[in-house]
């Protein structure tokens, strides 16, 4: 379903990605036909100082206080079938490779927050965010927070059959504290699912400072190793660009069946000037991409 080879090239120390097996259509990607560049040098600030036992105790208490995930009352048959497909080993193995390389890059460069955005709606950003989150959860030794920040069309909760209780707009505007928005999936993985915000709510949130304040609170209370942010589409409005300015790095997801090479190039140019741009993942890869 996804082709991560370009990202693997960018994040691999040798510049040569490991070979990945062929996966069936809808669940795999082959070799990229289009070589994309345009990422900015990622900052390298060294290793974080270890946390004190007192700090660890406070963080553990915050995690323990989180409510467990609230199950969705009804299930969509098509979504359930898709979720089962996404759990097949040939797909999860791809996300595990991406997870390992992401953790290596984040730890070596002292990064924490990652935004995942699509060129346009339907590109698969939420799917990639969910796949990474599930893969990180399988590790069991990292703390991960996921925030659904696609205010107008949140979808992250659908991949885990979770019922969102609030909008991301309430979180970003400070109306709700992170602990009121987060639902705990495991002892070290939590998600802030979102209800769709109305037009007024979407319009209120266009500032990197809003997200920066949320991230600071999340870091202080939960000390996550990784914060995944599912962002709105990059080429549809300015919300994704504004929010990405508060993040350490951004990953772009493009649908090779609907996003053109011009779309991807435009996204790369925008992101390269704003934040550390890790690269592009192609979704629905069929061996070619529209010119």
Q: What is the pLDDT of residue 205?
A: 58
**For 81-104, what is each residue's pLDDT tens digit?**
888 878 888 889 989 999 999 999
Closest by CA to 17, choosing from 27, 31, 33, is 31
More confident residue, 52 or 74: 52
Q: What is the pLDDT of residue 2?
A: 47
Q: What is the pLDDT of residue 262?
A: 87
**For 183-241, what is each residue's pLDDT tens digit?**
999 999 999 999 997 766 566 655 788 899 999 999 999 999 999 999 999 888 888 88
Q: What is the spatial distance between Cα 252 and Cα 264, in angstroms, rounded to a whole number?
A: 8
More confident residue, 242 or 49: 242
Confidence of residue 47 (pLDDT cuts 50, 70, 90): very low
Q: What is the spatial distance between Cα 151 and Cα 241, in angstroms, rounded to a whole number?
A: 14
Q: What is the spatial distance between Cα 90 and Cα 77, in angstroms, rounded to a whole number?
A: 22
Q: What is the pLDDT of residue 247?
A: 94
Confidence of residue 290 (pLDDT cuts 50, 70, 90): very low
For 188-245, give the secondary structure using H, E and C. CEEEECCECCCHHHHHHCCCHHHHHHHHHHHHHHHCCCEEEEECCCCCCCCHHHHHHC
Q: Give all domains of the chain, ordered by start, each with its CATH number.
A: 2-283 (3.40.50.300)
**pTM of the entire predicted model:** 0.79
């Amino acid at each position: 379903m996804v082709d991560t080879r370009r990202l693997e090239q960018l994040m691999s120390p040798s510049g040569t990605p490991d070979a990945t097996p062929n996966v069936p259509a809808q669940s795999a990607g082959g070799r990229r036909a289009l070589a994309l560049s345009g990422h900015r040098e990622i900052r390298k600030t060294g290793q974080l100082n270890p946390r004190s036992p007192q700090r660890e105790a406070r963080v553990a208490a915050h995690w323990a206080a989180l409510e467990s995930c609230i199950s969705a009352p009804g299930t969509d048959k098509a979504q359930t079938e898709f979720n089962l497909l996404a759990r097949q080993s040939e797909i999860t193995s791809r996300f595990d490779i991406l997870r390992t390389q992401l953790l290596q890059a984040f730890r070596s460069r002292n990064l924490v927050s990652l935004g995942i955005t699509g060129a346009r709606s339907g590109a698969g950003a939420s799917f990639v965010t969910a796949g990474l989150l599930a893969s990180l959860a399988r590790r069991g030794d990292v703390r991960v927070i996921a925030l659904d920040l696609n205010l107008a069309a949140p979808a992250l909760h659908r991949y885990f059959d979770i019922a969102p209780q609030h909008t991301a707009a309430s979180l970003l505007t400070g109306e709700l504290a992170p602990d009121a928005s987060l639902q705990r999936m495991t002892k070290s993985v939590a998600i802030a699912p979102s209800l769709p915000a109305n037009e007024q709510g979407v319009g209120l949130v266009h500032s990197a400072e809003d997200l920066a304040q949320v991230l600071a609170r999340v870091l202080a209370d939960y000390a996550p190793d990784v914060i995944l942010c599912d962002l709105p589409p990059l080429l549809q409005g300015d919300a994704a660009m504004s929010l990405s300015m508060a993040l350490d790095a951004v990953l772009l997801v493009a649908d090779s069946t609907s996003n053109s090479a011009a779309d991807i190039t435009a996204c790369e140019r925008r992101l390269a000037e704003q934040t550390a741009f890790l690269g592009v993942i192609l979704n629905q890869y069929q061996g070619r991409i529209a010119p």
